[in-house]
Structure 1
Amino acid sequence: MIEEGKPLFVQIAEQVGDSIVDGSIAEEAQAPSTNELAAFYRINPATAAKGVNMLVDKGVLYKRRGIGMFVAAGARDLLLRERRNDFALRYVQPLLAEARRIGLEPDDVVSLIRAGAEPATP
């Protein structure tokens, strides 16, 4: 799980987010505690807390005093929107920019994707 070059707390936030997106942790269900995350990933609890707090700041998790952290209603949709926007920025826009450089129109790119991206024969 641990990736070089990416802060651990960001990775923790992403892992919890992945569990929300894939349905492993449902909305209004209790999220793993900071201590559980720290023990599981063998990291400092303060690092795990920083990752959890990122999700709190986004409105994905909320705290029930004395009970723990819970997934907010609408958290999955929020994360999906965020990830779709990120996907467009990181993958689709550069793909379309390269397509323009080599003379492909957006419809050509769509056709390639639909065909399974099999290269054309020269």
Structure 2
Amino acid sequence: MMMQFNFDSSEPLYLQVAEQIENAIFLGSFATGEQIPSTTEISRDFQINPATVLKGMNILVADGLIQKKRGRGMFVLEDAQEKIRTKRKNEFFQDYILNMIVEAKNLGLDENAIISLVERGFEEG
């Protein structure tokens, strides 16, 4: 798994750790039941404090994406990929669709006009 961290970002490193691992699960780099790299491995490979890495992993445990098996490591839970997909769909709706609707209303566009623009976007994109 390839991880990249921005040490100059205002986003805390533990959140970056959680996002990187979540994204790897979502994209299938870590399959259901597969072990993810240990806190020690990530800490060593990227020169990040182990407590910081663990804090990021604990977010994923709390979200029900990975599970700690005592003495064996962290493993991807069965429905992790679907949970991430659902979460991201909700975020997409909140972050993009609702803002698009507000802007469309400001421009005087109705639902059909928006649908036409989305269809055009799919054709051109």
Q: TM-score of the superposition, structure 2-length normalised? A: 0.87
Matched with 1:31 is: 36
Matched with 1:86 is: 91
SS of residue in 2 equivalent to 1:63: strand
Segments of 4+ in structure 1 off by > 3 A? none
Letter in 1 for 2:115: V
Residue 83 of structure 1 deviates from its aligned partner by 0.9
Distance in 1, Cα, partners of 2:113 & 2:14 = 40
Letter in 1 for 2:111: P
> Cα RMSD over matched residues?
1.6
Distance in 1, Cα, partners of 2:45 & 2:119 = 41
Residue 117 of structure 1 deviates from its aligned partner by 7.8
> Could you list the runs of 5+ residues in structure 1 that have no partner in the other structure?
none
1:6-65 CA-partner distances (Å, limit 9, x unpaired): 111111111101011000100110011111222233211110000000000111110111
State which drifts further: 34-43 or 64-73.
Answer: 34-43
- Gap change, CA 1:115 and 1:46, over 3 Å in 2: same
Do structure 1's residue 73 and structure 2's residue 87 form an aligned pair?
Answer: no
Matched with 1:21 is: 26
Matched with 1:61 is: 66
Matched with 1:51 is: 56
> Could you list the runs of 5+ residues in structure 2 that have no partner in the other structure?
none
Matched with 2:102 is: 97
Distance in 2, Cα, partners of 1:15 & 1:31 = 12
State which drifts further: 62-71 or 3-12.
Answer: 3-12
Residue 2 of structure 1 deviates from its aligned partner by 2.9
